[in-house]
Structure 1
Amino acid sequence: MKKSNFVLAFCILFGIGMLYFHMNRPSTKNTFINVNSLRQPEPVAVNSSHQESVFDPTDSKRYEKYLTKYTPGYDKNCMLTLPNKYIGEGDFPLKLPGDNELNSLSDDVISCLYHRYVTTIQTFCAFKDRAGEVKRNGWYICADPAYIPKQNCIVFLSNKAFPESAFSADMVSRYKCQVHRSQFSTAETLKSWMEKTNTGDRIVDIFTMSINRTSDFAFIKTMIKDKSIKKVKQLLLELHFDPKVTKTEEYIQILKHLRLIYNEGLRIVWFDRLIHCATNRFNKCYAIYFVQPNLRDKTKGTAVVNFPTVAAIQKMKGNEIANLYFKYIETTQFFCQHILRIGRITDGGWDVCHDRMMQYKNPCLVYSFGVFTDLSFDDEVSATYNCKVYAFDPTTPFGTHQHAPKVWFYRLGIGTKYSKFSHGYVAPLQKIRSDLHHQSSSISILKADVEGAEWSSVPHMIDTNQLHDVSQLFLEFHGWGDSPNQLILLKKLHDAGFRIFWYHINPACTFNKNLPRRSRCQEVYFINTKFQPK
């Protein structure tokens, strides 16, 4: 072949090859959701077909090394183990069976009864005031008008689990109580100490106690026998029983004594899963808070915190704002009885109002903003409630991918406009929902731990009407609450129908040196009382 003919043939073949390539290469038109609406080079969402296709774990396994490892214990919240007949209502939301039935139950059911009973709320107290320190050396007290300790109140301390000096000092300085310390025993009973301290005819406003073994309940039985328990308005009790070593027989004894306490009229109003006792399934210790409704001031009700007008808030001073801010976020306004910890018990997990989830009829959709390397909540809420979960964070070391069969991750954060941020982008909730085709889908849970971005992004969600169809809203607030805009946001949420059902002070955060019961990081949990499902 002549050289000229060879060159001509080569050019013809090359041209045909290029034409074939362009005609058959994958189209980019539908690779990304709503790509033409985005002005930035990286789109919000991945290919919509991925969301319904068979899960390919390739990317998930590739990014696994970046994630904080978490292996939850089997049926951590006992939803599969506990028979439905033990789910009650009213002030007995988790029923304890009689002795014969209790003795016949399996080991798993018995342990579940204990761990669920002490984390189920039986009656309502709005304002739980923290006295002492948050991290460890303190207690909550019900400070509603019906239960609040009044001047010259009586406090007996017998807790051995931690020093109570900070708590004692608060009860003296803030509530003007008489505080008496004693390590009670079968010989040194509450009744005998009331006689020694000349308080025999008085109501005991606060009584603290810790129990580390079943034999410690003997003191409770003595209080029941001599009727001194009838004079205790608030019982603050720490229970220390490691699930790894506690035997079924011991759980049975604990449950029997908890039933005795119930029969004496004391009701659980709050509980605390103590962080230092966390395991992957059950806690090794809990703080349980009881009140005696028969001793409440029947002329008074629950605490209510009202907001002034926006104009009045803008004129308030820093300390005045902070006092109202903390008082509001630590006052529950909605009664949820079954509070389930989903995800890690320590930082990373979140508390879900199980009552509302059981009433929720729409397909479960969860938006989770701010995960970094911890997807424990996202994985577990998907598995527990069969939810589709969309997790977002622009700061992660890994990129956008499908993390699990019903969990998708985007390197994207929440903001007020679409813009570049850290390793990814931020966008308004309205745009994210649009690009994911969720405009017509209600959101079961929206949670955001976004390191201060909540102060601008949440008002934008309200102003653009993006929260009316969100059933539960979980926010971690960052700051000292001394800014007018922070208080105005709480007012906006309240006006939009959001009511607090739970709050959790993050013990890993910075605390106020002068007020150690205040943290700059507070998880606050809202129910939407004006929820409009789609």
Structure 2
Amino acid sequence: MEERNIDSAQSELKHNKDKANGDLNPKKDVHCIRAIEKFRNKDDTFFIPPDVKLAALPNSVSDCLYQRITTTIQYACAKRSRHGSGKDGWNICTDGCYKPNNKTVIYVLSIGNDYENSQSIDLHYKINVIRHKPRIKGTDIYVYQKNKDNLGGQSIKLGTWIDAVKQGLNDQNILIIDVESLTESVVDHIMMSGVLNVIHQFSIRISYGDPVSGIDYLTALQQLRMIFEAGFRIYGSRPEWPCIIANNKDRTSCVYLDMVYHKCRDLSKR
């Protein structure tokens, strides 16, 4: 587990803003750059337009906007800790009110084996980490609680699992989602349930497409907009290049986003 200080966080924020403003080839992408300027906020982040305008965008412009949205840091988390090793490790923002306390619960829905991550969390914070693995049965998604060997016991429907997450009374709860091709379905359930209303941090490995067919930009941008409208801001972005698009080596269909709610939750209302 490692922590980072405010200087490194601010440096990363500046680096990512610089990257977002200048990593395209002007000769190749000049029209795209001009097209997305109208989606730039005053703080150099970008917003996603309503569905009607979004659906009308040329694919090249959607691609450009998606790249900017997923690589631009929106919030400077001065301190953070990392748990686990390699690309599947978890980041936790530990700034002020975001720092986990003894009532914090971390809910995880993931495909991979993240037992090492949960052990690191337990060692450092002594808080409850509840891990589940999703599987499709017919047309429904079921989840299985994980144990040390990444195997689960009895299954419950995704909706039942989400209801259990919503029961948490501490608004410092953390939600981690890493479900590969199930991203769209799982995010749909999460947004419809209002579960983000009781979550303080939200990390998700988005996967809207695959290296062969490319990225479903419309769905990706629609769902990201809903997450932002729910009050969450990106403090960490990690594109995963093993998911690189076959016909566009500058894009990847998998990006790991770490987000926090844009302000401290008012726990006094609980």
User: Which bin holds the TM-score, normalised by the shorter protein?
Assistant: 0.7 to 0.9
Q: What residue is the counterpart of 2:45 in the other structure?
A: 304
Give the conservation status (yes or no) of the 8 Å contact 2:162–2:193. no
**Aligned match for 1:368, one of 85, 94, 108:** 108
The 5 A counterparts of 1:62-141 are 76-77=1-2, 93=6, 120-123=8-11, 125=13, 128=16
Give the Cα separation in 1 of the matches to 2:151 and 2:261: 26
By how many angstroms is 1:357 displaced?
Answer: 6.5
Tell me the equivalent position of 2:82. 341
CA separation of 1:366/1:357 partners in 2, compared to 1, >3 Å: closer, same or farther?
Answer: farther
What is the Cα deviation at residue 343 of structure 1? 0.7
Aligned residue among 499, 511, 519 for 2:233: 499
Q: How does 1:282-297 map to 2 (within 5 A)?
A: none
- CA deviation profile, 1:420-446 (whole Å, cap 9, x unmatched): xxxx55412xx2254579343435221
**Partner Cα separation in structure 2 for residue 436 and residue 358 of structure 1:** 18
Give the TM-score normalised by the residue count of structure 1. Answer: 0.40
For residues 423-462 of structure 1, the aligned pairs below 5 Å read 424-428=155-159, 431-432=160-161, 434-435=163-164, 438-442=167-171, 444-462=173-191
Return 5+ residue gaps in structure 2 as ranges.
Answer: 31-41, 136-143
Task: Please tell me whether residue 354 in structure 1 is matched to residue 94 in structure 2.
Answer: yes
Instruction: Verify the 8 A CA contact 2:201 2:259 in the aligned structure 1.
Output: yes
Q: How many angstroms apart in 1 are the aligned matches of 2:163 and 2:189?
A: 15
Aligned equivalent of 1:391, options 119, 128, 131: 131
Q: Distance in 2 between matches of 1:334 and 1:448?
A: 20
- Which structure has the larger Rg over C-alpha atoms? 1
8 Å contact from structure 1 (residues 403, 409) kept in 2: yes
Provide the rounded CA distance (Å) in 2 between the counterparts of 1:173 and 1:317.
Answer: 18
Q: Which residue of 2 aligns with 1:275?
A: none
2:71 to 323, 330, 336: 330
CA distance in 1, matches of 2:61, 2:103: 43
Alpha-carbon distance between aligned partners in 2 of 1:448 and 1:363, rounded to the nearest angstrom = 20
Aligned length: 244
CA contact (8 A) 1:511 1:517 kept: yes
Distance in 1 (CA, whole Å) between partners of 2:81 and 2:99 is 15
| Bigger proportion of residues as strand | 2
**Secondary structure, counterpart of 1:307 in structure 2:** coil
Comparing both structures, which one devotes a greater share of its residues to helix? 2
Cα distance, 1:358–1:477 mapped onto 2, change above 3 Å: closer
1:48-88 deviations in whole A, cap 9, x for unaligned? xxxxxxxxxxxxxxxxxxxxxxxxxxxx427xxxxxxxx97
Change in CA separation of 1:452 and 1:481 when aligned onto 2, cut-off 3 Å: same
Aligned Cα root-mean-square deviation (Å): 3.5
CA–CA distance in structure 2, aligned partners of residues 322 and 172 of structure 1 = 15
Using the TM superposition, give the Cα deviation of residue 121 of structure 1 relative to its aligned residue in structure 2, in angstroms.
Answer: 2.2
State the shift of 1:312 in Å: 1.1
Measured in 2, the distance between the counterparts of 1:144 and 1:302 equals 12
Q: How is 1:482-521 mapped onto 2 (pairs within 5 angstroms)? A: 482-507=216-241, 509-521=242-254
Q: What is the distance in 1 between the residues matched to 2:260 and 2:108?
A: 16
| Rounded Cα–Cα distance in structure 2 between residues aligned with 1:358 and 1:471 | 7
Report how far residue 455 of structure 1 moved. 1.2
**Equivalent residue, structure 2, for 1:378:** 118
Identity over the aligned pairs, expressed in percent?
17
CA distance in 1, matches of 2:49, 2:25: 29
Question: Is there any run of 5+ residues in structure 1 with no aligned partner, and where?
Answer: 1-75, 79-86, 95-119, 130-141, 150-169, 177-300, 413-423
Provide TM-score, normalisation by structure 2.
0.74
